[in-house]
Amino acid sequence: MIQLNSVSKYYQMGEVEVRALDDVTLNIAKGQFIAIMGASGSGKSTLMNVLGLLDLPITGEYLLENTDISELADNEVSRIRNQHYGFVFQSYNLFPELTALENVALPLMYAKKPSKERRERAAALLSKVQMDHRMNHFPAQLSGGEQQRVAVARALVNEPSLLLADEPTGNLSSGHEEEIMQLFAALNDEGATIVMVTHSAAVAGYAKDLILISDGRIVSETPITQRFRPVEIANMQGGYLK
């Protein structure tokens, strides 16, 4: 599905070159559920931005279904990002003046879908994330877990081939965290491809593969053979997250 070959991303800060990503090679197959962990400043958010086409690498290849992204026009890259990738963020990013239904339907409006189709699709996804009873409520009327469910529904509304989640439970209580991660696990079991950044070993335990990143480099890739094993994951981390 996605292949990164020797991808690097660096920034110039005065006379110092900071390598946010340093010669990263990564393959993401359809149906994978990957958790990315690393210390602050390790490069995991930069990696997510590159994967989501929010940022482009300085060197290396980004292949999507064997097509080199660098050979595509900017408007085509934007179309792929908007129509084929879904994003879930720690801060929900819901519009406070819109209802849950309107927030979920918004990407379909940008895609110029008819009003009836937008409402039907948004309502169906809110039902899927068990929020159909709250579809006419505004974000301020929803708990953190409910807002994140709405955000997940919005990320799915364009039927993305890849769901990217950056600290999706960072602002949630433990109870709401479990709700969201069970939802992610169910989506993956249905075939969704998910890449998630997290600081939490318990959250990472819902994924099927764990990637550890340090100083812009992938230092290990390990299958997670059993969910809900944070101690097992903590043992994999070694010194990289200290």
C-alpha to C-alpha distance for 181 and 207, rounded to whole angstroms: 9
Is residue 189 scored above 70 in pLDDT? yes
What is the average pLDDT across 34-41?
A: 92
What is the average pLDDT across 199-225?
A: 91
What is the average pLDDT across 222-228?
A: 71
What is the average pLDDT across 57-79?
A: 92
> In the chain, where does DSSP find H-type helix?
44-51, 74-84, 100-110, 115-128, 144-156, 174-189, 201-204, 230-237
Please choose, from the candidates 55, 64, 57, 44, the residue with its C-alpha nearest in 3D space to the C-alpha of residue 160: 64
What confidence tens digit (pLDDT) does each residue in 4-32 have?
A: 999 999 988 888 888 899 999 999 999 99
For the domain 31-53+82-237, what is the CATH code? 3.40.50.300
What confidence tens digit (pLDDT) does each residue in 84-130 have?
A: 899 998 889 999 999 999 999 999 988 889 999 999 999 999 999 99
Amino acid at position 204, single letter: A
Is residue 227 scored above 70 in pLDDT? no
157 pLDDT band, cuts 50/70/90, is very high
C-alpha to C-alpha distance for 149 and 135, rounded to whole angstroms: 11
Strand-pairing partners, residue 223, are: 209
The predicted pLDDT at position 14 comes to 82
What is the average pLDDT across 54-83?
A: 92
228 pLDDT band, cuts 50/70/90, is very low
What is the average pLDDT across 211-218?
A: 94
Q: Are 35 and 196 in contact (CB under 8 A)?
A: yes
DSSP state of 42: S
Domain edges within the chain: 31-53+82-237
What confidence tens digit (pLDDT) does each residue in 164-173 have?
A: 999 888 888 8
